[in-house]
Amino acid sequence: MLLSLFLANLKMIARNRQGLFWALFYPLIFVVVFGLFRFDQMGTSTMAVVDKAQDPLSQELTRNLGTMELLKLEPEADEASARQALEDGKVDFVLVIPEGLAVGVQRGVPMPLTLLYDEAQMQMNQLVIGAIQQFLGQANLAIQNARPLLTMEAQGVRARQMKYFDFILPGLVGMGVMTYAIIGLGTNLALYREQKVLKRMLTTPVRVSSFFVAQVLAYLVLALAQAAIILAVGVFLFGAHIYGSVLWVFLLVLLANIAFLNLGFIVGSLSKNVNAANGLSNVIAMPMMFFSGVFFPTTSLPWIMPQVVKLLPLTPMLDALRGVVLEAKPLWAFPWELGLLGLWVLATSVVAVRVFRFS
């Protein structure tokens, strides 16, 4: 009986081509979008240089500044036009070198350079200002012929590469599995109820528990396919890194997806029609997608929210997934996460069986 129900559910999932398309390819849209953007590569900023000194020292400074990768220099003869270009957004920074730079330095007179910037670009401003200050500090030492007393011997160590896309790929696996489990199963059950499919099953010897288990097993197979496709596209198309065991990844997907499918059962049981199921399932899935750390670390949340969202079922799944994928840790290195997922599976199973009705 259970095997027949399991195979029947697999056939229904396979025949629902539109639902199957979104189950498998909706997460891939996010994979492609985040894979195409290069979040780890810092862009260059355009800096207009107004050299009022026009002496060998100012020219040497400008030449050395031009070797910095994050700056693209544009010489500007007039300070007023350079300021206007900054206000118009044509350049990101304006550096004004004062007149008589070489003469003043030879006499030991401080010669301040003026850096103008757009206050709206806070992150880039800090980066460029810090780089220029470091550059000028080294230039001052060179001008004063100061012998460096503190030195550093740098030794490279080959470490694991980790990009932002490496961080987000496990999040997209969790998001894809969760959304289809809750939204897909919830709306399907509501559709079965609208079409009287579940009511007609009352005339058969099917038990609630058998129907429940067969549905879960069928969707677990789909969850494994989802995870495999997302990981394959991320690794082979966009060069993501997986340092841990893929077996642990699939086991985590299976465990967490049972809790998500139980939530889908609850949604489908409480909803009288497809529209209601779609709305309720989105209310459950969307906050988890944004607050559980799919796109950003939960530590970025304010106040006590990082501690609160740890209790959501998606959060421990993603924490354990990233530990396995990025840090090559074994599954038993996450007792808290596995225990919390186990509690969610147990609690949602009890609720799902109790609230589910064929009619």
Which region, left, alpha or beta, applies to residue 121 given φ > 0 means left and ψ of -120 to 50 means alpha? Answer: beta
Residue 207 has pLDDT above 80, yes or no: no
pLDDT score for 354: 87
- pLDDT higher at 246 or 121: 246
**For 142-195, how does the pLDDT look when each residue is reduced to its tens digit (9 = 90+)?**
777 656 554 555 554 455 667 888 999 999 999 999 998 998 888 888 888 888
The top-scoring range by mean pLDDT among 18-32, 133-147, 304-318 is 304-318
Placement of tokens 């996010």 in the chain: 30
338 vs 143, 179, 262, 296, 320, CA distance in Å?
Answer: 61, 20, 17, 21, 8
pTM over 0.85: no
Out of 125-134, 227-236, 329-338, 339-348, which region has the weakest mean confidence (pLDDT)?
Answer: 125-134
What are φ and ψ of residue 3, in 5° steps?
-65, -40
Q: Do residues 230 and 34 lie in contact, with contact meaning Cβ atoms separated by under 8 Å?
A: no
At residue 240, the 3 state secondary structure works out as coil
Q: Which of 178, 355, 342, 359 is nearest to 267 (CA)?
A: 355
Q: Please say if the pLDDT value at position 344 is more than 50.
A: yes
Mean pLDDT confidence for 332-359:
90
Tell me the C-alpha distance between 143 and 359, whole Å.
87
- Regarding beta strands 93-97 and 71-75, do their DSSP bridges make them parallel or antiparallel, or are they unpaired? unpaired
Tokens of 304: 């006590």
Which residues are bridge partners to 193 per DSSP?
none
Between CA 318 and CA 282 the distance in angstroms is 19
Backbone dihedral region for residue 18 (phi beyond 0: left; psi -120 to 50: alpha; all else: beta): alpha
Per-residue pLDDT tens digits for 258-291: 999 999 989 988 888 888 988 999 899 999 998 9
The b-or-e profile of 156-186 (16+ CB within 10 A means b, else e) is eeeeeeebebbbbbbbbbbbbbbbbbbbbbb
CATH 3.40.1710.10 in the chain is located at: 45-143
**Helix boundaries (H) for the chain:** 2-15, 17-36, 56-65, 79-87, 101-106, 122-143, 164-179, 185-194, 197-200, 208-238, 246-270, 274-291, 305-308, 314-327, 335-355
What band does 6 get if pLDDT is binned at 50, 70 and 90? Answer: confident
- Residue 271: left (phi > 0), alpha (psi -120 to 50), or beta? beta
What span, in angstroms and rounded, lies between the C-alpha atoms of 325 and 340? 20
Residue 101 has pLDDT above 80, yes or no: yes
Please state which CATH number belongs to domain 45-143.
Answer: 3.40.1710.10
Whole-angstrom Cα distance, residue 251 to residue 217?
14
